[in-house]
Copies of this chain bind each other. A is one copy, B any other.
């Protein structure tokens, strides 16, 4: 039985969620067949067993699993015969570290730089909630958050230095082959290219070349979607 992936939907049926892209890539890495179900924010509490608060959620036979990290651990354990997502215990720890580090240090500052563009890509009924939540959190309008992004992008790129170090002499973050840690980071850059023409990575950045390699994975599953670049 195919796995079902519930993922957030944006305008035009676009699947822009960074966390859902992590799971998409993990499923492809394991070579697993899956179907996706588009889900609006307001519908999350109604899916599966009605106990879910966020997406992605996967339904895998009798198992319902929420949260991109827990899904990755489930896939690694339940489909141990497939290519490993972690490459051992230390590689699992690397992925977990980056999973915890990325959101506050990298992803949320990126949300601020792309806030207005992101708003415009959401389903019309999700926009007011997104605006009020973000503006309350940061004390500025979405348009103000985005306005001075050219002045903030260099400092943001500097935060990526630990990731950059890993791909200076290796094709992927964990070495010669892509691993779940790549997909954790890929999610943010895939989300960015689907919602905004603003480039988070400079031409010539080793991470830009790494991202292109990720877009090529699994017959170009990441590259195939509508995006700004």
Contact = CB atoms under 8 A, between A and B. Distances in A.
A35 interface: no
A163 B162 CA distance: 14
B87 A162 contact: no
B175 A90 contact: yes
A166 interface: yes
Contact of A93 (B94, B96, B100, B161): B94
- Size bracket, chain A contacts: 20 to 34
A90 B94 contact: yes
A173 interface: yes
A88 interface: yes
Interface in A147-179: 161-163, 165-166, 170, 173-176, 179
Q: Which of A86, A94, A99, A174 has the most CB of B within 10 A?
A: A94
Interface of A: 86-94, 96-101, 104-105, 161-163, 165-166, 170, 173-176, 179, 181
Given A93-B181, A97-B162, 4 more contacts: A89-B170, A96-B166, A104-B161, A105-B105
